[in-house]
């Protein structure tokens, strides 16, 4: 009994001493005192049970000291002792052969090692780690391919293969492997995240698109590929192409128009109204009794309205046709909760385009009554009423309504919208300090669009009412902004020409030209808009407006003059000079369409 206790005590003390020796050797290694570390490691290595604890640092000591003979003896001994489990020792032996110039032997040894490691999943991982540490990603690929052959499974190790191809710069092969990996349920989101993080250039994005189309054509019943293609097209804002795929899925899976309607909603949010109209029309035509019919009909009308309102000059005949469509909607579906948003839209057409302000007010009051306890909708109508009172030059009525919404929706986005409109009202009135005070608060708004609008207007005021700048120019500019809000475009254009002549050397000059260019487009004078933009580029420092101006020029050349090459040149300029621009995705889409990319 006493003898057993002594043995246990001896083993414990021995273990503690060994651990202390290993810690000391590792410390010498960290400090670069390789000779001292080697002497301790050498003693510990005589005990086979402790070799793996010290191997990595010990072999590195020998390599750094160029003690290749000792390294070879040590490695050969470990390979002999460990058989198939000695993958790491064999891998380090190939490294030793390379260090000593024995490249042919090293290659043969590595090929044999890959064959050996490929037989077992655990040893594949072990050798893979060694190869990555030594920047041999091409050999990782070879190892994994051999592992697939052993397993007789073409999809095995797909995520590992994807990683190896990515590190090796082989994006096309990486895409293929990630697509395989995504076939396993639950992996699709990881696949999407990987593509988003690693495919950035136009060439890489097109590579993915071609691969997805190929998969969809080869495996038409595999829903995973179709969903991934739709996701990709949505990321690129290619909603029309996404619709083709979504429609095919809807018909095959009998989804009652749900996925098409949801895609239409996404296109609407991204302001691709023409594509959204196609989708809503499909839902209405295919499912006239379906649950999405009413919403599709209402939203299609809204999208048609947006197309009409943003096609310059706005055609009053088209506006009246829209009003007729809204009246038909109310006749068929009634004036109720499901159509009250349509009432709001119709009221805005009456007010802003047909100059029938009293009719607009009546329609909005009807909508408010229908809303009942829906406070948010009622307050949106109040904001609209406030806008109409600005059209009627009754700012006090407008600010009263805005302030009511501010109070009732204090913690909501609507409250911030109301606050922004009140700030703009102060701006129109020339009360710049008060406007800026509100705008600076709104810069921290939770909604990005409100925060951006507030920041832009705040910067405009700040840059143009400094201590050395008179407020007169800014007051005249703000009055023009009000005229444009009221759709009094001819008056606004005359005023812009006048103030530009007066303030060519003022800090406002570039903003005046930008406003002139956009107003020329509203009144269908694209050539004059181009002249303003060219003047802006040539004579004024317009860093903040740079990508805005280039994108607008490109659109004019494309949409008004059909000058494809010039438009492509400008879209390319945005992608190259302004990679973070908000116009990036749209510029890329337009560039690719003009170039004739027809992947489908």
The per-residue pLDDT for range 453-478, each reduced to its tens digit, is 999 999 889 888 864 556 888 999 99
* Pairwise CA distance, residues 387 & 398, whole Å: 7
CA angle 357, 322, 317 (to 5 degrees): 85
Question: Ranked by mean pLDDT, which of 11-25, 65-79, 112-126 comes out on top?
Answer: 112-126
Task: Give pLDDT, residue 67.
Answer: 83
- What's the whole-number mean pLDDT along residues 135-144? 92
* Pairwise CA distance, residues 588 & 400, whole Å: 44
Task: Give pLDDT, residue 9.
Answer: 42
Q: 542 vs 86, which has greater pLDDT? A: 86
CB environment 283-322: b (16+ within 10 A), e (fewer): bbeebeebebbbbbbbbbbbbbbbebbeebebeeebbeeb
- What's the whole-number mean pLDDT along residues 136-159? 92
Write 574-582 long-range contacts (CB < 8 A, 24+).
574/547, 574/550, 575/202, 577/546, 577/547, 578/546, 578/547, 578/550, 581/547, 581/551, 582/547
Task: Give pLDDT, residue 542.
Answer: 57
User: Does pLDDT of 420 surpass 70?
Assistant: yes
Of the chain, the percentage scoring pLDDT greater than 70 comes to 94
- What's the whole-number mean pLDDT along residues 310-331? 91
User: Among 83, 112, 82, which residue's Cα sits nearest to residue 97?
Assistant: 112
* Pairwise CA distance, residues 415 & 380, whole Å: 10
User: Does pLDDT of 581 surpass 90?
Assistant: no
Cα atoms found within 13 Å of the Cα of residue 74, Cβ hemisphere only = 28
Q: How confident is the model at residue 171 (pLDDT cuts 50, 70, 90)?
A: very high
Task: Give pLDDT, residue 90.
Answer: 87
Of the chain, the percentage scoring pLDDT greater than 90 comes to 58
- What's the whole-number mean pLDDT along residues 578-583? 84
User: Does pLDDT of 385 surpass 70?
Assistant: yes
Q: How confident is the model at residue 598 (pLDDT cuts 50, 70, 90)?
A: low
φ, ψ of residue 248 to 5 degrees: the values are: -65, -40
**pTM score, whole prediction:** 0.74
Q: Which of 53-57, 84-88, 178-182 has the lowest mean pLDDT?
A: 84-88
**368: region left, alpha or beta (phi > 0 left; psi from -120 to 50 alpha):** alpha
Q: 80 vs 436, which has greater pLDDT? A: 436
* Pairwise CA distance, residues 239 & 274, whole Å: 9
Q: How confident is the model at residue 95 (pLDDT cuts 50, 70, 90)?
A: confident
* Pairwise CA distance, residues 208 & 225, whole Å: 12
- What's the whole-number mean pLDDT along residues 297-311? 91
CB neighbours of residue 524 within 10 Å: 13
User: Does pLDDT of 11 surpass 50?
Assistant: no
Angle between helices 103-117 and 87-99 (to 10 degrees): 160
Angle between helices 188-198 and 223-235 (to 10 degrees): 40
Q: How confident is the model at residue 267 (pLDDT cuts 50, 70, 90)?
A: very high
User: Does pLDDT of 217 surpass 70?
Assistant: yes
- What's the whole-number mean pLDDT along residues 260-267? 96
Segment 553-575, tens digit of pLDDT: 999 999 899 899 999 999 998 88
Q: 447 vs 308, which has greater pLDDT? A: 308
For residue 537 the two structure tokens come to: 């580029």
Q: How confident is the model at residue 5 (pLDDT cuts 50, 70, 90)?
A: very low
- What's the whole-number mean pLDDT along residues 263-284? 95
User: Among 315, 394, 411, which residue's Cα sits nearest to residue 357?
Assistant: 394
Task: Give pLDDT, residue 276.
Answer: 96
Output the CA torsion 271→273→279→283 (10° steps).
100
Task: Give pLDDT, residue 596.
Answer: 77
- What's the whole-number mean pLDDT along residues 41-62? 78
User: Does pLDDT of 40 surpass 60?
Assistant: yes
* Pairwise CA distance, residues 145 & 378, whole Å: 64
Q: Which of 34-43, 149-158, 300-309, 329-338 has the lowest mean pLDDT?
A: 34-43
Contacts (Cβ under 8 Å, ≥6 apart) of 33: none
User: Does pLDDT of 254 surpass 50?
Assistant: yes
Segment 365-383, tens digit of pLDDT: 999 999 888 999 999 999 9
Please state, rounded to an integer, the average pLDDT across all residues of the chain: 88
- What's the whole-number mean pLDDT along residues 89-116? 89
Task: Give pLDDT, residue 509.
Answer: 87
User: Does pLDDT of 30 surpass 90?
Assistant: no
């Amino acid at each position: 009994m006493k003898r057993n206790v002594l043995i246990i005590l001896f083993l414990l003390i021995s273990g503690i001493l060994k651990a202390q020796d290993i810690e000391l050797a590792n410390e010498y290694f960290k400090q670069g005192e390789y000779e001292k570390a080697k002497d301790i490691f050498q003693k510990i290595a005589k005990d086979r049970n402790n070799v793996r604890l010290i191997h990595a640092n010990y072999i590195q000591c020998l390599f750094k000291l160029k003690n290749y003979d000792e390294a070879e003896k040590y490695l050969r001994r470990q390979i002999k002792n460990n058989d198939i489990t000695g993958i790491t020792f064999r891998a380090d032996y190939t490294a030793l052969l390379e260090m000593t110039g024995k490249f042919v032997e090293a290659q043969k040894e590595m090929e044999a090692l890959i064959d050996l490691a490929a037989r077992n999943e655990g040893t594949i991982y072990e050798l893979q780690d060694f190869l990555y540490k030594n920047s041999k990603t091409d050999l990782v690929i070879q190892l994994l391919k051999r592992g697939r052959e052993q397993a007789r499974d073409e999809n095995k190790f797909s995520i590992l293969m994807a990683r190896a191809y990515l590190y090796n710069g082989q994006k096309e092969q990486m895409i293929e492997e990630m697509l395989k990996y995504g076939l396993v349920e639950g992996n699709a989101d990881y696949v999407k995240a990987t593509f988003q993080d690693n495919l950035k250039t136009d060439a890489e994005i097109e590579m993915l698109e071609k691969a997805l189309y190929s998969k969809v054509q080869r495996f038409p019943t595999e829903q995973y590929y179709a969903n991934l293609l739709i996701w990709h097209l949505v990321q690129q804002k290619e909603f029309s192409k996404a619709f083709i795929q979504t429609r095919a899925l809807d018909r095959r899976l009998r989804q009652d128009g749900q996925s098409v309607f949801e895609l239409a909603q996404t296109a609407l949010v991204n302001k691709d109204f023409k594509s959204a109209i196609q989708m809503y029309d499909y839902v209405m035509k295919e499912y006239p009794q379906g649950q999405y019919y009413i919403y599709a009909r209402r939203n299609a009308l809204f999208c048609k309205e947006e197309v009409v309102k943003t096609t310059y000059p706005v055609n009053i005949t088209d506006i009246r046709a829209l009003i007729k469509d809204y009246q038909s909607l109310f006749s068929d579906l009634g004036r109720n909760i499901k159509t009250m948003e349509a009432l709001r839209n119709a009221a805005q057409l009456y007010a802003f385009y047909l100059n029938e302000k009293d009719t607009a007010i009546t329609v909005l009051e009807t909508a408010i009554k229908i809303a009942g306890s829906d406070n948010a909708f009622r307050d949106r109508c109040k904001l609209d009423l406030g806008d109409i009172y600005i059209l009627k030059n009754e700012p006090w009525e407008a600010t009263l309504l805005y302030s009511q919404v501010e109070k009732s929706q204090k913690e909501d986005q609507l409250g911030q919208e109301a606050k922004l409109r009140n700030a703009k009202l102060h701006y129109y009135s020339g009360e710049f300090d008060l406007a800026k005070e509100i705008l600076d608060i709104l810069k921290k708004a939770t909604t990005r669009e409100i925060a951006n609008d507030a920041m832009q207007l705040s910067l405009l005021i700040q840059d143009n009412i400094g201590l050395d700048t008179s407020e007169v120019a800014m007051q005249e500019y703000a009055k023009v902004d009000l005229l444009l809000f009221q759709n009094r475009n001819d008056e606004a254009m005359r005023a812009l020409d006048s103030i530009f002549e007066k303030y060519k050397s003022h800090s406002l000059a570039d903003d005046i030209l930008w406003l002139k260019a956009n107003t020329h487009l509203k009144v269908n004078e694209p050539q004059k808009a181009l002249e303003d933009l060219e003047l802006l580029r040539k004579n004024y420092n317009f860093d903040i407006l740079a990508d805005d101006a280039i994108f607008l020029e490109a659109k004019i050349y494309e949409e008004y003059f059909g000058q494809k090459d010039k438009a492509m040149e400008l879209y390319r300029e945005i992608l190259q000079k302004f990679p973070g621009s908000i116009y990036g995705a749209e510029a890329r889409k337009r560039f690719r369409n003009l170039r004739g990319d027809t992947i489908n």
